[in-house]
Structure 1
Amino acid sequence: MERFNEYHLDPQQFPFLNRLQANWQTIRDEFTFFKKTASEEELQFAHEVMGPKSKTVKTKGNARYSAFGVLFQGLLIEDYIQTHHISYPQYPGENVPQKALELRETYFPKLTEAIAATNSSYDNILRNVYFGTFHPGLDVKLHVNYNLHTNRGYLGLIVPEGDVAMKICHDKLYWHEGEFLVLDHSYPHCPHNYTEYERTVLVVDFFKPNRPRKDLIRMEQEFVAERMQENPYSLGVFGKNDQVQAEDFIKYGLAHQLEWDKAL
């Protein structure tokens, strides 16, 4: 039986995730179709433009993490780019928001539809929705995602057998295809993929439903403003305050665990 606590949360507490979970195979099919049929230019565009970049979260070795998605801070990707006037020097003279719109509509209509239906029924509770892929051998150094206004759900889409897991505080948690793993990711964590295959999940950040919405919106606006100034290509998802602090180890008793010491 699954054991839940203050950072490993029971997905059944969040019924607004049900539509995405019910459509997980369709969402996976859209992802795999895109990866198999999109042109090299489209694949490069998705990863360069439609995915959040972090200057803080580091990995060990040369294995990569890649991400791209359709919703950021409650806005569809093309609207987010336009609203924040993000410029992409590698695409001179191109209408980047229009290109993102076309790619999203061409390859991810069912995912977009599920997001829209959920946000229509639950007052725009979904904030970020993107695909996250761990390439073989990935080992992410210990960090936090300092988003006190949201929790993060990971919907398993492609999960190989073997040691691909999330280490958070005292737990080692695993993804499963068709299921949500929900975390308060402001707790220190370090995931890895020690298999020879890629792992892909749908990352879903959502407002904490037990907090006053006006407070959460204000917090999101403050975080996004700060992060976009630090790094506009973060899409407001990552920031400098994602760095783990010494007190995190002390508070959760991690300083005495050798593998966490190495991760720091």
Structure 2
Amino acid sequence: MENFNEYHLNPQEFPFLESFQDNWQVIRDEFKHFLQQASDEELKFTDEVFGPKSKTIKTKGNSKYSAFGILFQGLFIEKYIQLHQIQYPDYGSDDASKKALRLREKYFSNLAKVIEKVNFSNDGVIRNVYFGTFHPGLDIKLHVNNNPHMNRGYLGLIVPEGDVAMKICHEQLYWYEGKFLILDHSYPHCPHNYTDYDRTVLVVDFFKPDKSREEVIRFEQEQVIQRMQDNPYSLGVFGKSDKANEEDFIKYGLAHQLEWDKAL
């Protein structure tokens, strides 16, 4: 029996996520097929354009994580690029948008159908959808994600056995293939992967149900404008405010970790 609380949430409270969970093997297979069949040019383009890139979340050591997705702030990637007229070093906005659409339709058609179905029936509740991979040895410093209007769901796709976990407040939580782990990321957390294998999940950000849709969309728009100004390649997912500060450590009873974190 799992214990849920204010930061570790029960997936059954969010029935609109069932469509993702019911199709988790199809989604996983699309991810694997893309990695196996995509050309070097397609892989390079996806890495550079499908983001999100973060300058705020720091790792300990050299091991990194990678992420790419097809939905950001409720828009498919090609529409998001056009809306914000993102200019990439090797691609203009129009060219990047057209290429992104072709790749999304070629490799991720089933995932896109699930997103469209859920958002059509639930007033656009799903905001970001991307694959997140922790490479072996990854250790991320304690941080927050300053998205007080959203919860973050992790649907396990490829989860190796061993010590790959999320430390949040006083708990250590684990991912499981085919199941959602739902967190409120405004609480300090630090994930790691101490195995010899990649861990990949589907990250699904969605609006919290306790505020009016107009209010959270207005907040989201203001936040995204600032984040895109700071770093357009973040796709509005991460921002400068995501770094844990002293108040975060103290507020959640983690003051004893403050000096340890500073030292790292």
TM-score normalised according to structure 1 size:
0.97
Deviation by residue 1:150-202 (Cα, 9 ceiling, x = unmatched)? 00000000000000000010110000000000000011111000000000000
Whole-angstrom CA distance in 1 between matches of 2:93 and 2:231: 22
Gap regions ≥5 residues in structure 1: none
1:236 maps to which residue? 236
After superposition, residues 156-167 of structure 1 pair within 5 angstroms as 156-167=156-167
1:48 maps to which residue? 48
Whole-angstrom CA distance in 2 between matches of 1:263 and 1:95: 44
Letter of the 1:149 partner, please give it.
Answer: H
The SS at the match of 1:160 is coil
1:64 maps to which residue? 64
1:28 maps to which residue? 28
The SS at the match of 2:211 is coil
Give the C-alpha shift of residue 211 in structure 1. 1.3
2:168 maps to which residue? 168
The SS at the match of 1:206 is strand
Give the C-alpha shift of residue 261 in structure 1. 3.7
Give the C-alpha shift of residue 255 in structure 1. 1.9
After superposition, residues 31-180 of structure 1 pair within 5 angstroms as 31-91=31-91, 95-180=95-180
Check the 8 A contact 1:190/1:263 in 2, yes or no. Answer: no
Letter of the 2:245 partner, please give it.
Answer: Q
Check the 8 A contact 2:136/2:198 in 1, yes or no. Answer: yes
Whole-angstrom CA distance in 1 between matches of 2:153 and 2:190: 16
Give the C-alpha shift of residue 251 in structure 1. 1.2
Letter of the 2:17 partner, please give it.
Answer: L
Whole-angstrom CA distance in 1 between matches of 2:96 and 2:72: 16
Whole-angstrom CA distance in 2 between matches of 1:106 and 1:218: 33
Check the 8 A contact 1:142/1:260 in 2, yes or no. Answer: no
Give the C-alpha shift of residue 90 in structure 1. 2.0
Whole-angstrom CA distance in 1 between matches of 2:104 and 2:40: 16
Give the C-alpha shift of residue 259 in structure 1. 9.6
TM-score normalised according to structure 2 size:
0.97
1:12 and 2:12 are equivalent in the alignment: yes
Check the 8 A contact 1:127/1:206 in 2, yes or no. Answer: yes
Letter of the 1:220 partner, please give it.
Answer: E
Whole-angstrom CA distance in 2 between matches of 1:60 and 1:31: 27
* Alpha carbons of structure 1 residues 90 and 194: separation in structure 2 relative to 1, 3 Å: same
Letter of the 1:178 partner, please give it.
Answer: G
Larger mean Cα displacement after TM superposition, 121-130 or 203-212: 203-212
Whole-angstrom CA distance in 2 between matches of 1:263 and 1:172: 22
**How many residues are paired up?**
264
The SS at the match of 1:18 is helix
Check the 8 A contact 1:8/1:184 in 2, yes or no. Answer: yes
Check the 8 A contact 2:65/2:132 in 1, yes or no. Answer: yes
Check the 8 A contact 1:166/1:192 in 2, yes or no. Answer: yes
1:217 maps to which residue? 217
2:184 maps to which residue? 184
* Alpha carbons of structure 1 residues 74 and 241: separation in structure 2 relative to 1, 3 Å: same
Letter of the 2:144 partner, please give it.
Answer: V
Whole-angstrom CA distance in 1 between matches of 2:134 and 2:115: 23
Whole-angstrom CA distance in 2 between matches of 1:38 and 1:67: 16
Whole-angstrom CA distance in 1 between matches of 2:39 and 2:109: 18
Give the C-alpha shift of residue 263 in structure 1. 7.8
Letter of the 1:140 partner, please give it.
Answer: I
